[in-house]
Amino acid sequence: MLHFEGLRKKIIKNYFTIIIITVTLFEGLFIFYIQNYYYDYVRQNLKNVVENTNSNYNTVQMESSSFEKKVNNIIEKENLKYNSRYAVTIIDKNKNIILDRYGFKTNEKADYEDVDRALKDAKDLVPYTHRIAETNEHVMSISIPLKTNNIIEGVVRYTVSLDHIDQVIFKLILGLILAGICILLIAISLSLRFAEGLIQPLIELKQFANELAHGNYKIKLKNRNISDDEIGDLAETFEYMASEIDKSEKLKEEFISSISHELRTPLTSIKGWSETLGYDGIGKEELDLGLGIIQDETERLIKLVEELLDFSRLASDRIKLQIDMVDIRVLANGVVNQLRVKSNEKNIKLEAIFETENIENVQGDKNRLRQVLINLIQNSIKFTSDGGFIKVIVSQNDEFTTMKVIDNGAGIETENLDKVLDKFFQEDYNKAGSGLGLAISNEIVKLHGGNMRLESEKGVGTAITVTIKNKLIESI
């Protein structure tokens, strides 16, 4: 059942209003044109008759001097007594009707606008439309002065009935009105169909959005026919959004599971060793081992918390760079030396290679760039087997500085390459980590006017290339 409310009501109202205005204007103009066409035809005929009369009167005026005789000659020549199309009235210069439209002599006065204009010898003789008081007949009249030696002796007046023409015009107007009503009915029908065609997809989109609001991200659109226009594009965007939200929700669930494990493991170790160290008679060797484990697990927790804080800052655009001049050679060597102890534990060869001999200092945040390089190398150490290698290759040109971390580790599946930089993503959730390190590093690199590119092959290794601008601001 149709309900005329909301958007449907607006569409139908506006559409219907436009049609009414259009039809009304069209019919008004057409009616005006029809009426003028028929009336102009009558006016032209009256003017032709007037011209003939004027010509005939000028012909007979030399033959007789009597006004009445001149008039009779006009009537006889034009055969007006027997011409029922025009009614002729002869009027003298005192407005007395000498011969009325029925051919009788009367003593009535001819008080008409067109007669007055003729007696005043007006230059433009315009047909005069009016109604006869006695019969209510609609007529058109025109009067012409009869002059001898430029002296007006009287007026001849021609009158033609417009009733028949009015009937024709009325029938045409009635036909136009009926046609307009048909057009309006068709317009209403089309506007209803148009409104339904527009509203129905929107109703489905509304239902789709409600399902999304209630957490149903697996919902699919039922009506596939709406995918042929802009609303269809919007519907497909909704579907895509739902699938992306579903993926994000899964990633969040996996992240929560992973982060819970990441938090629980060091906390359990800290709690266990703190209780163990509280026992009496504990030896120095066991004490050193316990304190070392507590220290390592504490650093692990601090790193995890820092990543979560960075993620929060990135999500709210609150990370601000402390721009300074950074010596990339010193930075890369420092990070490599710092992590070499960890790489040596897995017998992994870690080295820094500088392809450009003279590397200039760059503008950037030293601590954030150090964080990026540490994240990349730590990831490589985590996914590289014993006896492998990790190379940090640094190069520079006039505009950009590039740091490339290459390993021969486990590699990444091809279908996951586009997801590695996403927040919370981990290819192997059994490995330690929050899944935020690469995502945060990528955002830091973007803040430095650069980009991060991944190349990897499963079982062969991974190469991550970081490119940053040498100059972020003109002067520092």
Does position 211 have pLDDT exceeding 90, yes or no? no
Question: Quick one: what percent of the chain has pLDDT higher than 70?
Answer: 78
Q: Are residues 330 and 311 in the same domain?
A: no
| Cα(344)–Cα(366) distance, integer angstroms | 26
Q: Are residues 406 and 304 in the same domain?
A: no
Q: Are residues 289 and 331 in the same domain?
A: no
Q: Are residues 307 and 379 in the same domain?
A: no
Q: Which domain holds residue 443?
A: 324-469
Domain harbouring 136, CATH code:
3.30.450.20
Does position 27 have pLDDT exceeding 90, yes or no? no
Work out the average pLDDT over 62-72: 60
User: What's the number of domains the chain is made of?
Assistant: 3
Let me know if residue 376 belongs to a domain. yes
Assign 57 a pLDDT band (cuts: 50, 70, 90).
low
Query: Model confidence over 348-380: pLDDT tens digits?
Result: 999 999 998 889 999 999 988 988 898 899 889
**3-class SS letters over 106-144:** CCCECCCHHHHHHHCCCCCCCCEEEECCCCCCEEEEEEE
Amino acid code (one letter) for 332: A
| Cα(141)–Cα(42) distance, integer angstroms | 10
| Cα(361)–Cα(329) distance, integer angstroms | 9
Query: Model confidence over 122-131: pLDDT tens digits?
Result: 777 778 888 8
pTM: 0.46
**Which pLDDT score is estimated for 121?**
80
Q: Are residues 365 and 444 in the same domain?
A: yes
Instruction: Give which of 447, 476, 281 is closest to 361, Cα–Cα.
Output: 476
What DSSP character marks residue 406? E
Let me know if residue 73 belongs to a domain. yes
Instruction: Give which of 261, 203, 317, 293 is closest to 431, Cα–Cα.
Output: 261
Does position 139 have pLDDT exceeding 60, yes or no? yes
Distances (CA, A) of 473 to 179, 184, 303, 402, 448: 73, 66, 31, 18, 10
**Which pLDDT score is estimated for 258?**
64
Last residue of a domain, one of 117, 140, 167: 167
Q: Are residues 156 and 284 in the same domain?
A: no
Q: Which residues contact 251 (CB under 8 A, 6 or more apart)?
A: 422, 423, 424, 425, 435
**Which pLDDT score is estimated for 223?**
57
Q: Which of 110-119, 164-173, 176-185, 304-313 has the lowest mean pLDDT?
A: 304-313
Query: Model confidence over 223-271: pLDDT tens digits?
Result: 555 556 676 777 777 777 777 777 777 767 766 776 676 677 778 878 8
Q: Which residues contact 276 (CB under 8 A, 6 or more apart)?
A: 282, 286, 290
* Mean model confidence pLDDT for the chain: 78
Does position 428 have pLDDT exceeding 70, yes or no? no
Question: Is residue 74 classed as helix, strand or coil in its secondary structure?
Answer: helix
Q: Are residues 462 and 384 in the same domain?
A: yes
**Which pLDDT score is estimated for 35?**
86
Work out the average pLDDT over 183-211: 77
Q: Which residues contact 95 (CB under 8 A, 6 or more apart)?
A: 109, 110, 111, 115, 119
Comparing 444 with 224, which gets the higher pLDDT?
444
Does position 420 have pLDDT exceeding 70, yes or no? yes
| Cα(239)–Cα(220) distance, integer angstroms | 7
Work out the average pLDDT over 195-218: 74
| Cα(392)–Cα(397) distance, integer angstroms | 17
Question: Is residue 471 classed as helix, strand or coil in its secondary structure?
Answer: coil
Q: Are residues 288 and 348 in the same domain?
A: no
**Which pLDDT score is estimated for 389?**
93
User: Can you state the percent helix, strand and coil of the chain, rounding each to 5?
Assistant: 55, 15, 30
Instruction: Give which of 150, 87, 148, 144 is closest to 119, Cα–Cα.
Output: 144
Assign 4 a pLDDT band (cuts: 50, 70, 90).
very low
Q: Are residues 13 and 147 in the same domain?
A: yes
Does position 6 have pLDDT exceeding 70, yes or no? no
Conformational region of residue 347, where left means phi above 0, alpha means psi within -120 to 50, and beta covers everything else: left
**Which pLDDT score is estimated for 74?**
63
Instruction: Give which of 121, 135, 40, 120 is closest to 87, Cα–Cα.
Output: 135
Distance of CA 396 to the CA centre of its chain: 45
Query: Model confidence over 150-187: pLDDT tens digits?
Result: 788 888 888 888 888 889 888 988 988 898 888 888 87
Backbone Cα Rg of the chain: 51
Q: Are residues 288 and 328 in the same domain?
A: no
**Which pLDDT score is estimated for 163?**
87
| Cα(109)–Cα(6) distance, integer angstroms | 68
Domain harbouring 381, CATH code:
3.30.565.10
Q: Are residues 393 and 433 in the same domain?
A: yes
Q: Are residues 353 and 298 in the same domain?
A: no
Domain harbouring 253, CATH code:
1.10.287.130
**Which pLDDT score is estimated for 317?**
62
Let me know if residue 335 belongs to a domain. yes
What stretches of 429-469 adopt beta strand conformation (E)?
451-457, 461-469
Asked whether 421 and 381 are in contact (CB, 8 A), the reply is no
Question: Is residue 426 classed as helix, strand or coil in its secondary structure?
Answer: coil
